[in-house]
Amino acid sequence: MTTTEHDSDHDERDDEDDRAAPGLLRAGQHQAGFETRRQKQLIASAIFGKPPAPTMLQRYTVLRELGAGGMGMVYLAYDDQLDRRVAIKLLRSRSTNPEAQTRLQREAQAMARLSHPNVVTVYEVGSVDDELFVAMEYVKGHNLRDYLGQTSRTWAEILAVFMPAGEGLAAAHAAGLVHRDFKPDNVLVGDDGRVRVADFGLAYGMRELPKPDPDANPNANPDANPNADLAGVVDPLRTPLTKTGALLGTPAYMAPEQFEGKVSDARTDQFSFCVALWEGLYGRRPFAGANLARLAEAVSTGNIDAPGHDTAKVPPWLRAVVERGLAPDPDARWPSMPALLSALALDPIAQRRRRVRARAITTATVLLLGALAWLAASELQHNARQRYWNALTEQLLDIERARGLGQATDDAERARAATKMSVYRSYRAKIGITDHSDPTIAATLLKEIGDSGRTDPAWISAANLTLGRPLSHALLTGHDDTIFALAFAPGEDALYSAAADGEVWRWEFSNATGASGRGELLFAHEGTVTSLVLDPTGQLLVSASEDGTVRAWPTTATANPNPQLLTRHAAGVTAARFDPSGRVLATSSRDNSARLIELDTRVTTVLGGHTKAVQAVSFDPTGARVLTASSDNTARLWRVEDGAPLALLEGHTRPVFHAQFVGEDWVVTGSDDGTVRGYRLHADAGEPGFVTDHGAAITDHGAAITDHGAAITAIATSGSRFASADVNGSVRVVTPSAPELAVSIEGHTGGVWALAFTPDNNHLITTSFDGTARVSSADGRGPARVLIGHREPLLRLAISSSGRWLATGSWDTDVRTFDLERAPLEIPLAAHKAPLQRVAIDRQGTRVLTASSDATARLWDARTGSELGVLRGDQPLNVAVFSPDGERVATGHSDGAVLIWELASGNQLRLDEHESAVRDLAFSPTGDRLASAGSDGVTRIWDAQTGALLLELRGHDDAVLQVEFGELGARVFTASADATLRVWDARTGAVQAVLTGHEGAIRSFARSPDPGDDQLATASDDHSARIWPDDDPTHALVLRGHTKKLHAVAFDPAGTQVVTASADGTARIWDAHTGAPLATLRGHSQALWGAMFIDSTHVVSHADDNTLRLWTLGRDASTIELSGHTQPVTGLALSPDARWMVSASVDGSARIWDISQLSSDPAVLVERLRAATVACLGVDQRMRDLGESQAEAEAEVARAACQ
C-alpha cells in the first residue's frame, strides 16, 4: 500500500531483517562454500555499519586472505585459545576429489611429525562445511624465490639462506619423511630471519633405505613389496596418491627417479635441493629443455647447462659440491643431507686463509718483541721529527676531509638511489601478478631518485615501462575505514567519497589535472554511508546511511554547514537516487519501505508493500516510474506522480538486491539466486508498466535472461543493454530482447562488486574482490586494461562525466584515481595456444597478423588489440603474410601446404606442391604472384588469384629459408641453408646470379631501400655477414666480429648502415658502403633473434632473454629495455610509420608497443612521471620500505609536500 507514515512494528522487522541480511551472506554458499560466505559477511558488516562479525572457521577467527592456489585458499587467522596467529590452508569445496583431500591430509600428517626450527609447524587438521583445512604456523616474510629476487646477493649470502633449509630437510629425513617437492617456492624466509621448509603435500614416508637388489625388477611398484617386519602396520604417508609411474613434483626440480616413477628417498630431496641452490647461485637452473621430454632427458643424462657469465663469482669447490648432488645416479650423490651440508660448510679457501692468518700472527709476534727494544732506544730522536709530520698530516687530513665530504655525499646519494631502485623492483607491475605490485608506488620511487641515478640505463628503462602501465594519478588517504561510496561532481570540479565509519570527504579535482591529493572532511554520519549522489547541477550532495538518515549538503557553500536532514527511515538506508530532473529523490531502506522526496516542497511519499528490506531503487529515463527491489524476492514498479503501484515482479527464489530500467521498455532484476530476470513493459490502456489493464497492479514473473549460477553482485545499464556480475567474478553484457547474443567478460579471480559503462558506452569498468579494476571493451573483444595498486578488495567505483577519470574505493581505506585517457605502452595479443612463428603488419598499418604452431593465424586490430578473425589450418604454421592490398593472407604450413585466404569471403586456395615444410612466403609488389620457399630446397611461384603453379626455382642444395621479390617484381631472391643466395628472373625462372662465399647457412638477407642501389646484405651461421654491392660474389664486403652465428641483418632507411643480430648476445652496426664497424650494442644476456632500424639513429633488437631493447646510436648511446614476454622474443615487425611495433614470442603472445612514447632523456621522463601521478610515499611506508628513521621520513614527506 501507499502511506505517508509507517505504522508497523519496526523492532520485529529489524529482527527479521537481521535474519534476512545474512541471506546476503548465505547466497551462493552452496556454490562457492566458505570463501563466498566470507566475502559476503565482510561486505554485509560494512554495509550495515556494525562492527564486522568475525568470520569463524571452527575456533579460528579468519583475518584475511594470504593467497590462493589450484586446490585451495590460504588465510591468516587468529587462535584466541592459544593467543597466536596461524595460517590456515583450506581445500576448495569444488576440489573435493579424494586425491586432493588425501594430499592435504598428507601434508598435515607429514608436518605434524616434525618439530624443528627450520620446518613450518602444523597445529591442527579439521574440516568445516565439508572442506578440509590445516592450521599451521604463520610465517610473515617471503618465499625463497622472492627473497633471492629482491636484490643481487653474493654466493656466501645465498649459501647462508640455503643451509638452514637443508637442515629442515635433514630433520624431515631423520623423521622418516621425503619432501618430494623441494623448490624455492616451498621455502619461507621469515621477517625474523628464520628459514622454514613448507608445503609437504607430496611428502612420503620412508623406511631405512635397503641396498639395491640387482635381481629386483627396476620398474616394479616400490609400494607393492613392504618389509615383512612391518606387515600389518599402516602408515598413511606410505599410501600412494597416484598410480605407479605418475609424476609427482615440480618437473624443473625433479630427480631422474621421479621422472621415471621410481621410489623416492632422501637423495631425491638432495637432488632438488641442489637444483634450487644452483639456480640461486647462477641465476638459472642446471638442466634445460624446450619441453618436458627434453628436460627429462637432460636430467637423466646429467647434461648440466653451462652456468653463464657469472661462473667466476662462485668458487670451484662450491660448484663441485653441488654438481655431486646433481648426479643422475642416486648412489653417486652425497650419502645424506647432513653430509652435503657438511661439505657446503667446508670452504677450503676460508680454511686456508685462517691457517695463513695464524702463521702470520705468530711471526708478527716474534718480530714485534724484537722491535720493541729498538723502538725504545730511537724514540727520543724521532720526537721532533714526529711533531713536524703530525702538523703536515693534519693539514693533509683537512684537505682529505673536504674531498671525502663530497665523495660521501655522492656515495650516500647513490646508496639511496640503489635502495629505491631495489624497492621499485618489488612494486613494479609483473606479468600475471597483482599481489604486492603497485606501479604507482614504483613511479613515486623513480621520481625520488636524484639526477645522478637517472642517467643509469636501468632507471631509464624502468621509467619508460612504468609510464606505460596504468598508474593511479592520485592516492587519496584520508579515510580510516572501508570506502563505500564515490561520486564525481557533474562539472568534474570535485570528487566525493564516504566510508563505513560514516565520514564524507571532498577532494580537490580538475578535469584537466585530476585530483591534487588534497581533501577535507565534510561531515560524518553515525553509520556506514551506503550512497552518495549529486543532483544534475552538482549543487546538492545527498548521502544515505545505515544510521537511517538521508542528508543534503550544498556544495556551493563557502563554509561547511551542517547537512540538512531530508528524511529519517526506521532502519538503515540502502540506496538513494535522483530522478533525471533532480527534483525528486528516491530512497530505499531496511525498514521494508522506499520513499519519494520532492526536494522543493519536502513532501514525502512512502512506498509500502514489500515485506522485507528494500535493497535498491531506480528511476526510468523519463522519471515517471520508479523501481524497487527487496529481500522478499520481488521487485515492484511504482508511479512517481502519486506513488501508485503498477506491477509486482516475481520469479526469483532468493533476495533481489539489484533492479534497473533498460531503456523505457525493459526492467531487469538481479538476485542471490544467480539469475537476472527481464520484464517487458507495455503501455496498455495508456498506463505504462501494465501488461494488461486489470485496473490494478499486475503480477509478472518475467523470464530468466541470464543465469550466472552464483549470486548477482551488480547490474549496470547502457542504452538497450545491461551488464551483470556475480560473486565468482563473471561478467556478462546482455541485450534483453536478444539474450542469446550475450557476451561474457572474464578475467577477475574474485567477486565483482561494482561495474559501470563509460559515458560513450564503449567500455565496461569493473572492480573486484581480487584487488583489481578492469577496463574492458563492452563487446568483449580485445584485452582488458588491468588497474592494480589497491592492497585489498575493491568495492566501489565512479566515472567522471567526461569519461576521462575513474575513482576506485577499497577495503584498504584508500581512494585512487586513474586517467583513462593515458595510452598504454603495450597491448598484449594473447589467444594462441602455442609459440608464435611469425608476425606481420599490413601496409595500411591497421591490422596485425600472427602465425602460430597451434595451426592458426589470427588477425588483430592494431589500435585496440581486438581479435578480428582466425584462420585455421590443419598443421602448424611457419609463416603468414599479407598481400599488398591487405585483402588476402597467405599461410605456410609444416606439412608443405600453402593456403591463400580471401579475408572478405573466407574462401581459400590450397597449394600442395612442396614436399616438406614451407619456410617463407612473399607476394609480388602488385600482389598477383606468390612465392613460397620450402625445406625441400625449391622455391615456387604461384598465380595468387587462381593458385596455378607458374614456376619452380630449383638449384639450392638445402632448405630455402627466405624468399623475396625485387622492388619491381622482376627478380626473386632466395637464401638457403646451402650457404648461397640466388637471384632469379621472376618471369622465366632463369638464374641471374649465385652469391657464394659463406661457409654456413644464410639465415637472413636484406635489400637496400635505396632504389638506385642493388646492394644486398646476408647473415650466416659462419659468424659473419656480407654486403654484396652487385651480382659478382668477389666484390662482397665481409663483416666479421661476431663470435656465434647470425640470425638477422637489416639496412637503415637510408641504406647507409647495416645492423646484424647474433647468437653471441650482441648487435653490431656497420657502414653499408665500406663494411667498417661503427658500434657494438651490448646489453642482452642471451642470443639475439633479430634487430632492425627504426630510423637512422634508433635500432630495436629482440632476444632469448625475453626482452626487446631500443638503442639510441651516437656518442651518448643509450638503451631502453622492454620486458613483458615470459619467453624468448623471436619475431618483430615495424609499422609503416615507424611509430609502433609488434613483437612475437615463444610464450604464444604478441605485443604491440607504442614506440612514440619512449624517451631516453631523463629530464623528459621525470617530468612525465610527475605529471602521471601526484602520489607520494607516506611516513610509515618510507620507514618500512626505505629504512628511513621517522624523522627522516617526516622530513621527506614535508619536502615533497605530500598530503
For 439-465, give the DSSP string: HHHHHHHHHHS-HHHHTSHHHHHHHHH
| C-alpha to C-alpha distance for 728 and 713, rounded to whole angstroms | 9
Q: 1013, exposed or middle or buried, with CB in 10 Å at 0-12, 13-18, 19+?
A: middle
What kind and span of H or E run contains 270?
helix 266-282
Q: Cα separation of 404 and 394, whole Å?
A: 15
The kind and range of the H/E element at 1133 are strand 1129-1134
Residue 1148: CB atoms within 10 Å: 21
| Cα angle 631, 634, 640; round to 5 | 105
Strand partners, 564: 552
C-alpha distances in angstroms, 890 versus 903, 908, 984? 10, 9, 22
Binding residues for ATP, by number, are 89
DSSP 887: S
Nearby residues of 243 by Cβ (< 8 Å), 6 or more positions away: none
1038, amino acid identity: V
- Under 8 Å between Cβ of 620 and 689: no
Q: What is the 3-state secondary structure (H, E, C) of 333-389?
A: CCCCHHHHHHHHHCCHHHHHHHHHHHHHHHHHHHHHHHHHHHHHHHHHHHHHHHHHH
Residue type, 1046: L
Q: Which CATH superfamily is domain 829-1157 in?
A: YVTN repeat-like/Quinoprotein amine dehydrogenase (2.130.10.10)
Q: Tell me if 806 sits within 8 A of 470, measured CB to CB.
A: no
Instruction: Answer whether 900's CB lies under 8 Å from 911's CB.
Output: yes
- Measured CA to CA, the distance from residue 158 to residue 445 in angstroms comes to 27
- pLDDT, one tens digit per residue, over 182-238 is 999 989 999 888 999 987 755 555 443 333 333 333 333 333 333 333 233 333 333
Strand, helix or coil for residue 1185: helix
For 420, the enclosing helix (H) or strand (E) is: helix 348-427
Query: 157: part of which helix (H) or strand (E)?
Result: helix 155-174
Residue ranges in the chain whose pLDDT is less than 50: 1-32, 93-96, 206-247, 352, 355-356, 358-390, 392-393, 396-397, 399-401, 403-406, 408, 431-435, 684-699, 1203
C-alpha to C-alpha distance for 73 and 424, rounded to whole angstroms: 28
Residue 423 zone, left/alpha/beta (φ > 0; ψ -120 to 50; rest):
alpha
Phi, psi at 1173, each rounded to 5°: -150, 135
Grid cell 621421479 in the structure block, residue:
258
User: For residue 7, what are the CA distances in angstroms to 3, 596, 645, 1022?
Assistant: 9, 18, 19, 95
- For domain 475-568, the CATH architecture is 6 Propeller (2.120)
User: What is the dotted CATH code of the domain comprising 22-137?
Assistant: 3.30.200.20
Which residues sit in the known binding site? 89
**What's the pLDDT score for residue 198?**
85
| Closest to 528 (Cα-Cα) out of 570, 486, 500 | 500
pLDDT tens digit string along 628-649? Answer: 999 999 999 999 999 999 999 9
What DSSP string runs through 1132-1192?
EEE-TTSSEEEEEETTSEEEEEEGGG----HHHHHHHHHHH------HHHHHHHH---HHH
Answer whether 636's CB lies under 8 Å from 651's CB: no
SS (H, E, C) 686-712: HCCCECCCCCCCEEECCEEEEECCCCE
**What does the alpha-carbon distance between residue 892 and residue 900 come to, in Å, rounded to a whole number?**
9
Is residue 337 a contact partner of residue 166, using CB atoms and an 8 Å limit?
Answer: yes
Residue 1182: the pLDDT is 78
CA 716/CA 706 separation, integer angstroms: 14
In tens, the pLDDT along 760-775 reads 999 999 999 989 999 9
| Residues in the chain, overall count | 1203
For 442, half-sphere exposure in the C-beta direction (CA atoms, 13 angstrom radius) is 26
Q: Hey, is 1065 helix, strand or coil?
A: coil
Distance between CA 660 and CA 616 in Å, rounded?
Answer: 9
Q: Which pLDDT value is given to residue 1066?
A: 97
* Composition of the chain by helix, strand, coil, percent to 5: 25, 35, 40
CA nearest 644: which of 625, 663, 664? 625
Summary count for the chain: helices (H), strands (E): 18, 77
Dmax (CA) of the chain: 129
Between the CA of residue 517 and those of 509, 541, 547, what are the distances in Å?
8, 21, 29
Q: Tell me whether strands 625-630 and 635-639 are parallel, antiparallel or unpaired.
A: antiparallel
* Contact predicate 576/585, CB 8 Å: yes
For the chain, give every domain's residue range: 22-137, 145-209+234-349, 475-568, 829-1157
pLDDT digits (tens, 9 = 90+) for 107-130: 556 566 677 888 888 888 777 777
Give, to the nearest 10 degrees, the angle between helix 34-47 and helix 10-26: 140
**Rounded CA gap, 962 and 722, in Å?**
51
**Spatial strand order in the sheet of 635-639:** 614-619, 625-630, 635-639, 645-649, 698-700
What is the Cα Rg of the chain in Å? 36
> What SS3 state is found at 591?
coil
Given the residues 9, 11, 14, 181, the one annotated as active site? 181
CATH 1.10.510.10 fits 145-209+234-349, yes or no: yes
As a whole number of angstroms, the distance between CA 817 and CA 796 comes to: 12
Provide the pLDDT for residue 740.
Answer: 87
Question: Cα separations (Å) of 20 from 37, 527, 654?
Answer: 14, 19, 10
Give the pLDDT confidence score for residue 435 in this predicted structure. Answer: 44
Number of Cβ within 10 Å of residue 247's Cβ equals 14
- Name 459's Cβ contacts closer than 8 Å, sequence gap at least 6: 417, 421, 446, 449, 453, 1162
- Are 507 and 815 a contacting pair, CB within 8 Å? yes
CB 1110 within 8 A of CB 1102: no
- Separation of alpha carbons 526 and 546, rounded Å: 8
pLDDT of 332: 82
* CA atoms within a 13 Å half-sphere pointing along the CA-CB vector of 986: 23
Q: What is the pLDDT of residues 295-350, one digit of tens each?
A: 888 899 888 887 765 555 788 888 888 998 999 988 888 888 998 998 888 765 55
Q: Residue 897 corresponds to which cell in the numbers above?
A: 601446404
Name residue 986's amino acid: A
Closest by CA position to 865, among listed 1151, 1107, 468? 1151
> Is 129 noted as a catalytic residue in this protein?
no
Pairwise CA distance, residues 938 & 915, whole Å: 9
- Is the separation of the CB atoms in 920 and 940 below 8 Å? no
Q: Which residues contact 434 (CB under 8 A, 6 or more apart)?
A: 770, 771, 772, 786, 788
